[in-house]
Structure 1
Amino acid sequence: MGYVYIFGTIFFTVYGQIMLKWRISAYGSLPEEFREKVIYLLKLLLDPLILSGFLSAFVASLFWMAAMTKFDLSYAYPFMSLSFMLVFILSIFLFQETITIHKVAGLILIMAGIVVTSQSA
């Protein structure tokens, strides 16, 4: 059950990041003028899907607390790196972000770290 908690944390973390990026992109860039920045941020805070991203972060933290009852932090935390991989892949498909050799190399190193760390259980 502990791994369900870890992967619940990852799922809700990734959902929140993707949702925030998607909805914020729909509103455009942050304005320069202070008053316009405040209005812009208030609009973002009233967007139901952005609120779902915030709620998702809260739910992820609940899953993480449950995971902490099952695993040592030094063992569980590297699995959170899977969120980097999932956000990277989803951002390519959903937001047409670019793939570079440096990004791919970084992800390979992250995945290798997860494999090595998971062997220490």
Structure 2
Amino acid sequence: MGYLYIFGTILFTVYGQLILKWRIEKYGSLPPLVKDKILFLLQLLVDPLILSGFLSAFVASIFWMGAMTKFDISYAYPFMSLSFVLVFILSVFLFQEPVTLYKVIGLSFIVVGIMITSQSV
């Protein structure tokens, strides 16, 4: 059951990041003037899908609290790095972001690090 809490944390974290990226892209770039920046950000804050991204962060935190009842943080936290991997993979398909050799190497290090830290000695 503890791994379900970690999975829920990752799932809701990834959803939040992707939905924020998707919706913010629809609104365009941050304007240069301070007054316009404030209005722009307020406009973002009333978008229902952006609000769902914030809600997903809250739900991810609840799952994380559950995970903390089951695992040491030094064991559970490295699994959160899987969110980097999932966001990268999904951003390639959803937003056509570029895949570079350096990104693939970096993500490979993350996966290897998770494998190493999840081993009990």
Q: What is the TM-score normalised by the length of structure 2?
A: 0.98
Distance 1:81 1:34 in 2: 35
Cα separation, 2, equivalents of 1:47 and 1:70: 36
- 1:33 partnered with 2:38: no
Q: Any gaps of 5 or more consecutive residues in structure 2? A: none
Report the aligned-residue RMSD.
0.8
- Is 1:96 equivalent to 2:96 in the alignment? yes
Deviates more, 1:4-13 or 1:30-39: 30-39
Q: Deviations over 1:71-100 (max 9, x none)?
A: 000000000000000000010000010001
Partner of 2:68: 68
Is 1:24 the equivalent of 2:52? Answer: no
Aligned length: 121
Within-5 A mapping of 1:1-121: 1-120=1-120
Which runs of 5 or more structure 1 residues have no equivalent in the other structure? none
Q: How far off is 1:120 after superposition?
A: 2.0
Assess if the C-alpha contact under 8 Å between 1:75 and 1:120 holds in 2: no
Q: CA deviation at 1:38?
A: 1.0
SS at match of 1:98: coil
Residue identity (%): 73
Question: Aligned letter for 1:72?
Answer: D
